[in-house]
Amino acid sequence: MLSNLRTFAVGHKKITCLHINNIYCSRITSSLKRIKTHVPLGRSYSSLPGLIGNDIKSLHSVISPPVAKIRNIGIMAHIDAGKTTTTERILYYSGYTRSLGDVDDGDTVTDFMAQERERGITIQSAAVTFDWKGYRVNLIDTPGHVDFTLEVERCLRVLDGAVAVFDASAGVEAQTLTVWRQADKHQIPRICFLNKMDKTGASFNYAVESIREKLKAKPLLLQLPIGEAKNFKGVVDVVSKEKLLWNSNSEDGKDFERKSLLEMSDPELLKEATEARSALIEQVADLDDEFADFVLGEFSENFDLVPAEKLQTAIHRVTLARTAVPVLCGSALKNKGVQPLLDAITMYLPSPEERSYEFLQWYKGDLCALAFKVLHDKQRGPLVFVRIYSGVMKPQSAIHNINGNCTERISRLLLPFADQHVEIPSLTAGNIALTVGLKHTATGDTIVSSKSSALAAARRAGREGEKKHKRNSEEERLLLAGVEIPEPVFFCTIEPPSVAKQPDLDHALKCLQREDPSLKVKLDPDSGQTVLCGMGELHIEIIHDRIKREYGLETYLGPLQVAYRETILNPVRATDTLDRTLGDRRHLVTVELEVKPMETSSVMPVIEYAESVSEDILKGSREAIENGIHSACLQGPLLGSPIQDVAITLHSLIIHPGTSSTMISACVSRCIQKALKKADKQVLEPLMNLEVTVTRDYLSPVLADLAQRRGHIQEIQSRQDNRVVIGFVPLAEMMGYSTVLRTVTSGSATFALELSNYQAMNPQDQSALLNRRSGLT
């Protein structure tokens, strides 16, 4: 097996964890002793992957560690909280990079795209694998910008735990709330890391209070800071009552000393730590009955005697139950507090076997995996990230894709060790890996070993469902929950430099769509132009830039436009007859239906059938009717925008024998269009949640500007010396807002936008919009 192991290394310069040039390969045929003395890697490791100190572990344990020793975690936060810097420090201290990368210098491992390095932001999530004190950690660094929320969503789907990073001077921010809700949705245990404790205005107590109030979480203070802002020196470990001080002369933060707190040298710190530990024990005892019985039984008189190991085990159980969140602090940029964070990840976050998944019982140890991300590599083609839930995955083996109902072959299996890839002979359940050779697999696809394995699992699931009186289709039971893709809010046309380049543009967009499911591409039926639909200005700008850099196409973008919706205000009935003779066949359909507005919001039309429509007719034509309804609702009569919040009732359907289903769809579609034209129509516009953080001096001009943009201010909060303006504003008014805000506040303000809902436009604004679209103004 060892002779099959290949190590891919990067020559001389640090580049991406995915796009690797200058790769050379060396076969390892010697014993483990020789591996230690001669390591054919272009990167100097402080320890070989899998080697902790001087203990030589077998190479097999590096590749397939026990499931209990695996941690699949994500790093999530608001933009600029320090996720990528924290990831960079984690890789350095675990011995997988030889220098500290910096976001500002553009040389981090996980931000490998040119756009990420230029802008200093994370756009794509990046997976890295490393070992820490005998544990295998698969870590995913996620974006913080709201335009790339889907990246966070699809990564959280496959993770077992998460680290939420906070800016200690700002506490909980807008995007923090979003990613926290996403983690709640996937029931992910998490720990909090209060980063930037060295920053001016950093406040440990303020950040903890904001977690308690805004996230409605119970923080467990496992650490206390020693000093804040420029006086930040280290942390107090509350569980063990020790202080951790980093050497001020150490450039990389590897040197720190751990000392027990003594009455003689640190009376104040010891008092604080003792009080904090007693409070922590009380909190954990309230949440964990087993620990409460243990404490009350033996240590009710003196909490100081509670063993640290028992407290840590109880904190682990409480974290898994998601009844509270452990809180740690530090400064990733100043290299302080990262090693204790790594210890907390391995100690408190769950292993794959501690998370329960209902579907595993149906596979009985057969392969079951979820593809959660696709990347295109110029040399190797599509690289698919997969999380293995059960069974074993091997290269050169065939797999069955349940979603696509196709069989494909995995040519190679790779582990992303920092910025190099290690080819491996097999991978077991609980791991995250990179596969080469899957041409048709997309994000959210469920992968099994074979079609027969899927059918066997379906039968087991069916028997289980009958016992519980649940009825699902076989396919639904087998499919792992994919990712909910949000509806795009911006769109614009994209043109190739010449007609000859249109196929190249189509290919580029197809590849980018496979990588990023939140990017939608459609053809305008009137003009024949290609239309890009995205999550925001930055999203579309990045896509445009990637087409230019990665595919060498100088494309032209039309003006950005807002994705409006339409609805109706009153119920309308319509009848339509379609009578066509094609060849020797007569196609005759007569339809009568009613379209009415709904009180509840629904993106898709609600379809109902009157009792007068016979079941016999519906049996053969239901699919054709529904296809006609859905296609009619894609384009409204006012702006050609999708119709929502409507219910459609079919009252009568007469079909001549021999009429094709296409003609039925066409007749239903035409009838709905006729009804929509007769109704009173309403345009719905996207309304955004807005949060602007601004200094007190510039608050007035910011509020005046928002008033001009039809904004509604909900509240103005205080955050340290800043003011936080929270409100709603129509998306149409926010074009180019970042530039205006920088100008008005001399570059001191920041803002975050997130789609709230669609709301009806008032008659004056709707009239002005329709006039603009028709070219009258």
For the residues of 80-114, what is the DSSP string, one character each? TSSHHHHHHHHHHHTTS-SS---TTTT--SS--SH
pLDDT of residue 568: 93
DSSP 467-523: HTT----HHHHHSPP--PPPPP-EEEEEE-SSGGGHHHHHHHHHHHHHH-TT-EEEE
* 349 contacts 73 by C-beta, under 8 angstroms: yes
Q: What pLDDT does 477 receive?
A: 52
Cα 105–Cα 110–Cα 116 angle in degrees, nearest 5: 55
The C-alpha torsion from 35 through 40 and 43 to 45, rounded to 10°, is 10
Residues 6+ apart with CB under 8 A from 204: 168, 194, 197, 224, 225, 228, 329
Tell me the pLDDT of the chain averaged across its residues. 82
Buried b / exposed e over 4-23, threshold 16 CB at 10 Å, is ebbbbbbeeebbbbbbbeee
- What are the φ/ψ torsions at residue 58 (nearest 5 degrees)? -65, 150
Greater confidence (32 vs 204) lies with: 204
Q: Where are the beta strands (DSSP E) in 222-367?
A: 223-226, 234-237, 242-246, 256-260, 325-329
Please check the confidence at residue 46 and state whether its pLDDT lies above 60: no
What is the pLDDT confidence band of residue 370, given thresholds at 50, 70 and 90?
confident
Both tokens of 110, joined, read: 């996980």
Per-residue pLDDT, averaged over 238-249, amounts to 88
The whole-model pTM stands at 0.74
Q: Which residue has the higher pLDDT, 557 or 117?
A: 557
Q: Is 50 left (phi over 0), alpha (psi -120 to 50) or beta?
A: left
Q: Is pLDDT above 60 for 32?
A: no
How many helices (DSSP H) and strands (DSSP E) are in the chain? 21, 37
> Would you place residue 106 in the very low, low, confident or very high pLDDT band (cuts 50, 70, 90)?
low
The listed range with the strongest mean pLDDT (39-48, 65-74, 275-284, 289-298) is 275-284
Query: How far, in Å, are 42, 257, 307, 430 from residue 239 at the CA level?
Result: 40, 17, 9, 30
Average pLDDT over residues 346-352: 94
Q: What is the distance in angstroms between the CA of the first residue and the CA of the last residue of the chain? A: 73
Number of neighbours of residue 582 by Cβ within 10 angstroms: 9
What integer is the mean pLDDT of 598-626? 87
Cβ of 243: how many Cβ atoms within 10 Å?
23
Please determine, for residue 313, whether its predicted confidence score (pLDDT) is greater than 90.
Answer: yes
Residue 8: pLDDT over 50: no
Task: Flag whether pLDDT at 432 surpasses 50.
Answer: yes
* Residue 300 neighbours by CB distance under 10 Å: 8
Calculate mean pLDDT across residues 678-695. Answer: 91
pLDDT tens digits for range 381-404:
888 989 998 889 999 999 998 888
Is the dihedral angle over the CA atoms 254, 255, 260, 265 positive or is it negative?
negative
Tokens of 166: 């906070």
Whether the pLDDT of residue 435 is over 50: the answer is yes
Please say if the pLDDT value at position 618 is more than 90: no
Which residue has better confidence, 409 or 362? 409
C-alpha 605, offset from chain centre? 28
Of the ranges 124-128, 189-193, 333-337, 635-639, which is most confident?
Answer: 189-193
Chain centroid to Cα 295, Å, comes to 40
Q: Give the Cα separation of 385 and 132 in Å (integer).
A: 22
- Count of alpha carbons within 13 angstroms of residue 278, beta-carbon side: 11
| Position 29 confidence tier, pLDDT thresholds 50, 70, 90 | very low
Residue 196 pLDDT greater than 50, yes or no: yes
Supply the pLDDT for residue 218. 94
199-231 pLDDT, tens digit per residue, is 988 999 999 999 999 899 999 999 999 988 888
pLDDT classification of 729: cutoffs 50, 70, 90 = very high
Q: How confident is the model at residue 45 (pLDDT cuts 50, 70, 90)?
A: very low
Edge-first strand order for the sheet with 256-260 is: 223-226, 234-237, 242-246, 256-260
- According to the model, what pLDDT value does residue 124 have? 66
Average pLDDT, stretch 329-341?
A: 92
Kindly tell me if the per-residue pLDDT of 681 is higher than 60.
yes
Q: Is the pLDDT of residue 253 over 70?
A: yes
% of the chain surpassing 90 pLDDT: 33
Q: What's the rounded Cα separation, in Å, for the pair 471 and 474?
A: 9
C-beta atoms surrounding 507 within 10 Å: 12
- pLDDT value of residue 105: 62
